[in-house]
Amino acid sequence: MSTIPNHLKALVKRGSFAEFTSLANARAYAARCIKLHMVVQGDIDADSEDGRFWVVVPADAERLEKAGCEILT
């Protein structure tokens, strides 16, 4: 399993992070979390395939959004 790229690691401070290749799976995981979690669009390779979706707490999602990532939920 890959992780958040090094240039974004400092933005995920809570340590609660999960990565998925499927948006549906990421949303299902976020929905089952006890505390509120959000889905963020992660890495997309050059041909716009194999995108990564990260499930993080709202504070981390906000920091990732400011860094250019897109919040999906």
DSSP assignment of 4-57 equals --HHHHTT--S--EEEES-HHHHHHHHHH-SS--EEEE----TTS-S--EEEE-
Has residue 17 got a pLDDT over 50?
Answer: yes
Q: What is the mean pLDDT of residues 10-34?
A: 86
Confidence tier at 24 by pLDDT (50, 70, 90): very high
Domain boundaries, the chain: 15-50
Please say whether the beta carbons of 15 and 55 come within 8 A: no
Q: What is the mean pLDDT of residues 48-55?
A: 75
Question: Token digits for 8?
Answer: 């974004």
Please say whether the beta carbons of 17 and 63 come within 8 A: no
Confidence tier at 1 by pLDDT (50, 70, 90): very low
- 20, β-bridge pairs: 53
Q: Please report the pLDDT score of residue 18 as a whole number.
A: 87
- The segment with the largest mean pLDDT, out of 14-18, 32-36, 45-49, is 32-36
